[in-house]
Each structure stands twice: as C-alpha cells, then as structure tokens.
Structure 1
Amino acid sequence: MSFRTALSGINAATTDLAVTSNNIANVSTTGFKAARAEFGDLYAASIFGTSRNTAGSGVRVTGITQQFTQGSVEFTNRNLDLAISGGGFFTLDNNGATVYSRAGNFQLDRDGFVVNPTGARLQIFPPTDGSGRNFETGRLVPLQLVTTDSAPAASTQVIVGSNLPANATVPVAAPFDPNDTNTFNHSTSITLYDSLGVAHVQTLYYVKTPNANEWELYNYIDGTAVGGPITLQYDAQGALVTPATGFATLPAYTPTTGAAPITLTLDLRNSTQYGERFAINDLRQDGYTTGRLIGIEVSQQGVIFARYTNGVADPLGQIALSIFPNQQGLQNLGDNVWSETFDSGGPRRGPAGTSDFGLVQSGALESSNVELTEQLVNMIVAQRNFQANAQMIQTTDRITQTIINLR
C-alpha cells in the first residue's frame, strides 16, 4: 500500500511540475492564462464507510484550472492590436466553429478580414446606421476592412459666423461688381462639393447700404451669381434681426460636371455687427469629396471606425464580447483560444463597457498573467514533493527487504 501511496504522490508532483513548466514556457504568450494543478486525497471505502483508523491511499489530480485574472496591458501603437481591460472574451469564427480568446494580436488576411494568427475571424455587431451609436447586437458578422473609396456628399448648408464693422461706410462705387473692389466692403470664400465630389468655390460679398445697420450679401459660385442680394439687418445692439430665422435659402446652382444641382442654406444666426473690424469667426459647410482609407480606429466601447482622407469616419461595427457563467469550465484548445462546454454554460454577448463587460484598448495587448517568481517557487515545492515521495518508496523498499530477510 505504501508503494502505491508514494507513487500517487510522485504522479501528482509530476503533474504539478508539468503545469508549472507550461506556465513558465508561456510567460511571454499574449493573452495566456496561467493554470493551476488541484489535488484531492484518496481514502479506501468499504460498504460500512471509511474507518477513522484507515490510512489514506494517496492523492489524485482533481483538475487543472485556468486562472482568468487580468494580465497587464502593454501598448504597441498598432491599431489592430486590441486588449480587453476587464471581463469578456473576443468572439471568433474558426471555420464555422465559434471560439473565444483574450489574445488581441489581430491582422488582415488576403480578403481584408481581421483574423488572429491562426486565421479565426473577429466577430462584430453590424451597424444599423452611420451614427456610430446603433448596432444590431443580436447578429454577428466578421469584421472586414474594405479598400474602396468613401463616397462624396454634396454640400447643403454653409454656416457663416461673421462680424461686420458698425462704422462701415457705403462703397464709393456702384452698382455691385464682384470684379471691382470699390463696389463692396468685404468678401470671403469657402470650398463646396457637388454630388460627384467635385470642388466649387463659393464667394460671399458684403455691401453696406445707405440705411443704418443694413447690409446686402451677394453669393457667387464659381464666379456665377446665385440668386439676388440677401438683406441683413441688425438692431442697435448688433444682433441679427433679418432674416428673422437666421437662415437664407439660395436658388439651386447646376454645376457643369453633370452632378445634381447644389441647393444651399446659409446659417447666419451667428452673424453680428460690432466694433470697427470685419471678421469671420466661423465658416463651415457639410459636404465632402471622395476619400481613400487611411486606417482604422477603435474606441473603448469597441466601435471600429474606418478613417478616410476626406475626414469621414464610417462605423464598421462594434466588437462582440462574450462572458460565461463559469469560465473555468471552458475547454482550452491551444493557440490562445477556448471553446464552450456544458460546464462553462452558454455565452452572454454584449458590447464593451456595458454590464460587466470590460473596455477595449486599441494599440495594446494583454500580456500573460503568469507571475514568474511565483512559478519558480511552485517549481521548487513540486520538486521537493517529488523527492520526498521518492524517498518514501526507498524507505518502504528497505522495510520490505528487512521483512523478507527474517528467518
């Protein structure tokens, strides 16, 4: 019996050494979770139960459990490197099988899909609109980066925040002529875009009228007048009173590029008449030309944006994180991925930063949670356990030999 008991101890110590060795070997593996060997004692039982005077029968391995504590987050400045700070796993599609991982060292395959080093595709919630806030959390799709250009958008509104000098005088020449600077007081220009993404120049000319606190605003696109002058009137405190709403809609301008007519609304609500100097405090429009992909950005909530040269950021989706009732029950498949089992329970999926899901850090990786000093101490303890059990076998052998030699 002593031989078997000591042998079980040797086997347990060997398993402990194997687990410790695997932890040390993966000390630099991205997203690796350290394992721990767990043991239980053995007692022989009869139909009458275990006697209080019965010696134990040794030890057995009751399980090797993963320790899902947070690893340190190390920054890499590579956008496709992702780390989860908190709970959750990345959800991956491995040739039709759903697997899970904490390792976020992703890359692109030849088809533009974002994959891990073994080719499993990162799963996301697809967007329902272009706002970057609404996603279809009941459906998973693989994340794919498209290389096509971003479509243009025609300008529809121009925000003009101007300040006109209160002491301005009527121009020395009349009538208004955009080619004669003596017929207007001030001017400014902005670039517009038509539906094909072609740029056009809109120029605004300010002309002081003989009436107090009154101006005329002329609009030209590519040198062509668009509509007549817009009357701007201000009160004694310099605030705009005409147009009453602060908005002025221009007639449609048809470009020569074959694009759809450009219909603009001027937002003049921030136009004032103060002081002695002309100033443009705000001049913006809402159109843009075509753009090519220059990179991606990932928010802490896991929203992936494609950035284009025209300043557009299109949401591609939101990273789908998964949490299990019993993550200790997950099956380790190697290559830093786990699979669902009966013991783990089914996954609960959601976006980062909600409920008990962690946040996503772009340009960073979660390192192994192996504490090297602790593992070296475990190695020494397991080695001592092995030696002690081996010594027990040697001692038992001597006792047995002594009994055999009795006459």
Structure 2
Amino acid sequence: MSFYTSLTGLKNAQTDLGVISHNLANAETAGFKKSRTNFADIVAVSVLTDPSMTQGIGSRVASITQEFSLGPIEQTGNALDLAVNGDGLFTTKAPLSGRTQFTRAGSFGVDGAGYITNASGNRLQLFPVDTAGNITSTASTVDALIPATNGAGSDFAGVTVSDEGKVIASYADGSNTTIGVIALADFIAPNGLQQLGNSNWEATGISGAPIYGQPSTSQFGTLLSGAVERSNVDIAEELVGLITAQRYFQANAKAIDTATQVSQTIINLRT
C-alpha cells in the first residue's frame, strides 16, 4: 500500500513542477495569469470503518486554478497598447470562426482593412455609439472598424483611446469621430474560464456568461492607453515553489525507497 500512496505523491509533485515551469516560461508574456496547483487527500472508508483507525491512501490534484491578480503595468507610448487598471477583460472575436474570446493582453493594432486586432488576429469588440459618441446598446458588440475616410472625404490620421474606453479616430481635416466604446467583460467565476493560449480565454458553463460594461463604471477598471499589462508571475515566488516541489518529489521517492528496503528485509527473513 505504501508504494501506491507514495506514487500519488510523485505524480502530484510532477504536476506541480509542470505548472510552476509553465508560469516561469511565461514570466514575460503580456497578459499572462499564473496558475496554482491545489491538492486533496484520498481516504478510503466504509460505514464499518473505525474512525480512530482510518488511514489515508495518498493524495490527488484537486484543481489547477488561475490567479487573475493585476500584473505590472508597462508604459509603451503606443496609443493602441491598452491596459485595464482593475477588473475586466478585453472582448475579441475571431473573424473566421466568430468565436468570442477574452484577454488581458492589450497590444492592439490596425490591419489593412481598418479593423483593430490583437496578435491572434481577433477583432476588438466595441459598444456601438450614436453620432454624439453615446453608447446605444450594451447588449451587443461590434467589430472595431476605423473608416479610411470620414464623411467629408478626409483621410484617416490617427486613433486615440480615452480612460472611459472611447475609441476616437482623427482625420486629416482635424475632425474626430468616436467609432465606439471598448466593451470589457467580467465573470462570476473567472477561474472557470477555458485557457486557449496566446493569453486568450473562452467562457464556459463554470465561469458563467460574461457581464459586459464600460471602463471606469461599476466593477470595471480604468483603461490606460499607451501601456500594457505584463505577466503577474513573481519569479522569486515561483523559484521558492520550485524548490518546495522538488523536495516534495524527493520525499515521496525516499518513502518508496524505504518501503522497498522494508519489503526486502521481510523477504530475507522468510527465506
């Protein structure tokens, strides 16, 4: 029994090492959120088991949870580098599949068609606005599309984003047009979001449906233009965790070695 008990510990230590290694590998990934391994004990009992004689039979991985704490904010000066100072994720949509994805990595740019996209090619989602720049609906979102020319025929000159999330396009004649307001999303259980890679997440039944809102309102954080959020991985903390996981692995390996020696001693006694 001791062999299998220690074996569960070895497997758990291996999982923990894998999670910590993944965190360290993404210490410089913008918008990355670190994960933590949670363990639980395994106990086999029945209605006839004496509680005072109960012996555990190992441990298991209970969950691998993500920590959505705020990472360091780095100034870049690029108008379409955006960071959320508080709660909320950027909403994006894949142009081909139409899948809605969420991210904290706010490095956006304008593609050849005028859409504001991230590194994955997903289009930033905005709340639609009227001619005065007021939100007309928060129940639906639209792709962030910058017209190449305004109503007067002047060419596009640049784009800025306000703290409240208004995306304002400037034109050669000096006029400005608000094309929409950035839609931030929040979740009742963000740990239930499905990781997709590239600092993207997707909603699941565990996370619940997204709750949309405008930056600087309700529970949503302020939008910072010209900045990006870096990974929230603390390298020193992860290295300490790495040492702990290594000792955890070594201790279980030693327990197996001890059980082997005890078994060998018993066999030698019988022979």
Deviations 1:349-371 (A, max 9, x none): 01111100111111110000000
Q: What is the aligned partner in structure 2 of residue 143 from structure 1?
A: 144
Instruction: State the Cα RMSD in Å.
Output: 1.3
1:105 Cα shift?
1.1
Q: What is the aligned partner in structure 1 of residue 162 from structure 2?
A: 299
Q: What is the aligned partner in structure 2 of residue 128 from structure 1?
A: 130
Letter in 1 for 2:38: E
TM-score (norm 2): 0.95
Whether 1:11 aligns to 2:7 is no
Q: Is the 8 A contact 1:81 1:104 kept in 2?
A: yes
Distance in structure 2 (CA, Å) of the matches to 1:50 and 1:61:
27
Q: What is the aligned partner in structure 1 of residue 217 from structure 2?
A: 354
Q: Is the 8 A contact 2:159 2:168 kept in 1?
A: yes
SS in 1 for 2:30: coil
Whether 1:403 aligns to 2:270 is no
Matches within 5 A, 1:209-288: none
Q: What is the aligned partner in structure 2 of residue 66 from structure 1?
A: 66
1:49 Cα shift?
5.1
Q: What is the aligned partner in structure 1 of residue 198 from structure 2?
A: 335
Structure 1 vs Structure 2: percent identity of aligned residues?
44
1:147 Cα shift?
1.3
Matches within 5 A, 1:47-196: 47-48=47-48, 51-94=51-94, 95-129=97-131, 131-148=132-149, 150-152=150-152
Distance in structure 2 (CA, Å) of the matches to 1:308 and 1:43:
69
SS in 1 for 2:148: coil
SS in 2 for 1:57: strand
Deviations 1:71-99 (A, max 9, x none): 11111111111111100111111221111
Letter in 2 for 1:89: L
Q: What is the aligned partner in structure 2 of residue 228 from structure 1?
A: none
Deviations 1:248-295 (A, max 9, x none): xxxxxxxxxxxxxxxxxxxxxxxxxxxxxxxxxxxxxxxxxx632211
Letter in 2 for 1:349: Y
Distance of aligned partners of 1:62 and 1:128 in 2 relative to their CA distance in 1, 3 Å threshold: same
Alignment length, in residue pairs?
Answer: 268
1:109 Cα shift?
2.5
1:50 Cα shift?
6.6
Stretch deviating more after TM superposition (38-47 or 26-35): 38-47
1:108 Cα shift?
2.3
Distance in structure 1 (CA, Å) of the matches to 2:138 and 2:262:
69
Stretches of 4+ aligned residues off by more than 6 angstroms: none
Distance in structure 1 (CA, Å) of the matches to 2:250 and 2:223:
46
Distance of aligned partners of 1:50 and 1:17 in 2 relative to their CA distance in 1, 3 Å threshold: farther
Rg bigger for which structure?
1
Whether 1:374 aligns to 2:237 is yes
SS in 1 for 2:52: coil
SS in 1 for 2:257: helix
Letter in 2 for 1:88: G
Q: Is the 8 A contact 2:138 2:213 kept in 1?
A: yes
Whether 1:31 aligns to 2:31 is yes
More helix by share: 2
Q: 1:389 aligns with which of 234, 248, 252?
A: 252
Q: Which runs of 5+ in 2 are unaligned?
A: none
1:333 Cα shift?
1.2
1:26 Cα shift?
0.2
Letter in 2 for 1:70: L
1:313 Cα shift?
1.1
Distance in structure 2 (CA, Å) of the matches to 1:50 and 1:294:
78
Letter in 2 for 1:21: S
Q: Is the 8 A contact 2:45 2:54 kept in 1?
A: no
Distance in structure 2 (CA, Å) of the matches to 1:123 and 1:307:
19
Distance in structure 1 (CA, Å) of the matches to 2:91 and 2:235:
29
Q: Is the 8 A contact 1:39 1:59 kept in 2?
A: yes
Q: 1:323 aligns with which of 186, 206, 209?
A: 186
Distance in structure 1 (CA, Å) of the matches to 2:68 and 2:194:
13
Letter in 2 for 1:314: T
Distance in structure 1 (CA, Å) of the matches to 2:137 and 2:28:
36
TM-score (norm 1): 0.64
Letter in 1 for 2:189: N
Distance in structure 1 (CA, Å) of the matches to 2:26 and 2:55:
39
Q: Is the 8 A contact 1:43 1:50 kept in 2?
A: no
Q: Which runs of 5+ in 1 are unaligned?
A: 153-289
Distance of aligned partners of 1:151 and 1:341 in 2 relative to their CA distance in 1, 3 Å threshold: closer
Distance in structure 2 (CA, Å) of the matches to 1:144 and 1:136:
17
